[in-house]
Structure 1
């Protein structure tokens, strides 16, 4: 067992800076959990759980892991939810990612064909809560918060909220049945979730991570997008073959626009004047994209895209629309002035799609369990990044430095560094995560709250050691401004970096 002491810095959206030190304890233990070498066919077994009651995080060390085609080694948490799935894997002497919790279960599933070595785990390492924390208060210029990723989990009927600073799940929000699409309001204050099973939209308040309203939609809502000014929501109803237009002030449906057969994805032009809807009628080799005028709420053009188009994204300058055609194994590029296809990029079974903030790259998830990177200057694939199983939704952070890929089959999220095109973290999600849409919030700037006698002393804070340290401010005055001491206020949220 050993201790680590690190300096921490708390940046808040006001005029305060706290600095201090936190001591964490890490323990390394020798264990032995292994399969037969080689393992048997048609095998399905969960080993006795690896549990450390004092742990807040755990990771495992494999001396070797070798699996044959389509065989799986699954790590589960205490509740039986998947942390990660290894499939067709062969590696030696490696550590897993850090997983939140104090229990890991190991499950091996094999088919009836060939066998392989299996696995051998020889060490477990844990992290515990901070033992001490001391803080000093200084003044500093204000800062803005980092973005959050909101991951819809269709199999567990909730949304995982990921802090993109330290890539940890900070909250889980219960929503409707079989949540699919998700969209974050431009100001970051609301998240809209399309619940395909309950035919409605959950409205999440990002300050409290709680559902504040539920809006009826059509049948099987999938894709969802918010207008650039935040006043309208566009919801694609796959079984109703239409698009619901919702006023965000009243949360009422103000219009219903007929689309094509089995509409799936939706995106709004940055100027807010047009909405693009993919119509993924299965069995049709020449599916379409409906172009909707947002003033009249009428379809003003129908563009033949490709077979079974799913994801759709518009470039930041509004001149191009990229459409992921699952059925025809390509991405169509639409000129928004002429509504004509100007190019196609071959990608096997593309699903989700998004454009970088600078418009130079397009990121596409596909059935080959990887992410294709397209250079928009010449519309060629310049990189392919291996991710988890059955990737679906994809989004880029506002600074363009990280891409988040939601893996429905492995119940996690791959985090990719855009400079190197390397996966730098894997974050566990709920069951069958999809997050189809723009699921990452932008930077939210808040001005400093005026100091005054209404500011009260903060009495409680809860440091939680995960991959970083979060300081959860408990006391809040009217208006939602946490306080540090008499006469000093700052706007939420606050975060610790180290």
Structure 2
């Protein structure tokens, strides 16, 4: 303990007053205010030069696209429970399209109970949030329709005629819906509200199905499942600008996801049993990172630190650490299963996945990897949507939010 100063060390009241007066005069002479006096050093310097804060490089995004919040993290708007005013009053639900039952099962995530089963068109593949987040579109692939669901009421609207809607995305500027017409071998750009065709871009690959957009939104990478290829598409021109064959015999690419910093794309491959890692800007030769048998879905955690990778063929989920650039854990479903597509809860604590071949849905605690629920649904559950989720706008699929 420091001893108190001796009486000789204590300044007199008179000297303290004189010192204060001198300080006021000096401040008046140099024209400094309260803010400036706070910057003084013990040597009496005024307004010392401070190092400038590092500036983040601006991202020149696709015209009309909402500005990137953080160039180092494209998912910065997706933080836990950071719900847009558009969706904050929507009831929390899990919407499960059952491809072989032609229905959507609705689950209350708080009780893990099925609340409703909604009949839709033939072979619903995905439930997709619209760009403005006001509508959920059910992709009835063989029914050649999109069924709109109102996420406020859970009611289905009148189906819209759309041919071969295997999957559905939205351009970052909100100007176009992009239908992945897998069998038609087209990327069909449509009005995002009426779904009227605006441009149909033919492709030479087979099975276009999943995609994700670059940090600036100016291009997107598309997987071609049945020919083992990748496409690079110019968003504004609505044109395929590059194409490559994956370097694996029998490759079958699935889900596509971008790294938080926008420097890499990851492509799940259920036959190569891993995910391809490539630079989207150069569109160079990708490298394969093995994860598990039947790699299928890719989902980023709410803190942007990890990605959950579903291995449908072995009933596991691999955890990929972005900063360490490697796999760190693997969670195994008890009693096995076929984890496929899904999404992360608004609070980030639960990973919801469809069990494609087991007519069930899995709820997994992201903090422990423990399965907390296993819920029976219809046959062939596929691209389920957890809704609402944080974010400013939707790029489609089962919920890619920015």
Shared fold (TM-score, shorter chain, > 0.5): yes
Residue aligned with 1:212, SS: coil
Q: Which residue number in structure 2 is paired with residue 374 of structure 1?
A: 320
Write the mapping of 1:228-247 to structure 2, written as runs, cut at 5 A.
228=172, 230-247=174-191
Q: How many angstroms apart in 2 are the aligned matches of 1:211 and 1:232?
A: 22
Higher share in strand: 1
Provide Cα deviations, 1:40-99, integer angstroms capped at 9, x if missing partner: xxxxxxxxxxxxxxxxxxxxxxxxxxxxxxxxxxxxxxxxxxxxxxxxxxxxxxxxxxxx
TM-superposed deviation, 1:236: 1.2
Is 1:277 matched up with 2:222? Answer: yes
1:214 & 1:245 partners in 2: Cα distance? 18
Gapped runs of 5+ residues in structure 1?
1-142, 446-498
Q: Is the 8 A contact 2:307 2:321 kept in 1?
A: yes
Mapping of residues 382-397 of structure 1, within 5 Å: 382-387=328-333, 389-397=337-345
**In structure 2, C-alpha distance between the alignment counterparts of 1:275 and 1:257, rounded to whole Å:** 14
User: Residue in 2 aligned with 1:74?
Assistant: none
The corresponding residue for 2:39 is: none
* 2:240 counterpart residue number: 299
Quick one: which of 346, 349, 352 aligns to 1:401? Answer: 349
Contact kept, 8 Å, 1:187 with 1:442, in 2: the verdict is no
Query: What is the aligned counterpart of 1:290 among 231, 234, 238?
Result: 231
Partner of 1:10: none
Aligned residue for 1:218, secondary structure, equals: coil
Q: Does the alignment pair 1:252 with 2:196?
A: yes
Conserved in 2, the CA contact under 8 Å of 1:162 and 1:170? yes
Alignment match, 1:185: 130
Instruction: Report if aligned partners of 2:177, 2:195 keep a CA contact under 8 Å in 1.
Output: no
Superposition map of 1:64-75 within 5 A: none
Aligned partners of 1:234 and 1:244 also within 8 Å: yes
Equivalent residues of 2:90, 2:152 under 8 A apart: no
Instruction: Return the alpha-carbon distance in structure 2 between the equivalents of residues 378 and 324 of structure 1.
Output: 19
Q: How many residues align?
A: 297
The one of 287, 299, 305 aligned to 1:360: 305
Q: Alpha-carbon deviation of 1:229?
A: 5.0
Quick check: 1:344 aligned with 2:288? yes
- Distance between the aligned counterparts of 2:245 and 2:391, measured in 1? 38
Q: Give the structure 1 partner of residue 368 of structure 2.
A: 420
Point out the structure with the larger helix share.
2
Q: Which residue of 2 aligns with 1:168?
A: 113
What is residue 148 of structure 2 aligned with on the other side? Answer: 203
Contact 2:229 2:244 in 1 (8 A): yes
- Cα deviation for residue 272 of structure 1 reads 3.5
Once residues 294 and 189 of structure 2 are traced to their aligned partners in structure 1, the CA distance between those partners, rounded to angstroms, is 30
1:191 CA drift (Å): 0.8
Give the corresponding residue for 1:442: 389
- Tell which structure's C-alpha radius of gyration is larger: 2
What root-mean-square deviation, in Å, do the aligned CA atoms of Structure 1 and Structure 2 show? 2.5
Question: Does 1:326 find its partner at 2:270?
Answer: yes
Structure 2 gaps, min length 5: 1-87, 393-402
Asked if the contact 1:313/1:353 (under 8 Å) is kept, the reply is yes
Q: Does the 8 Å contact 1:406/1:434 carry over to 2?
A: yes
Contact preservation (8 Å) 2:126, 2:383: yes
1:411 maps onto 2:356 in alignment: no
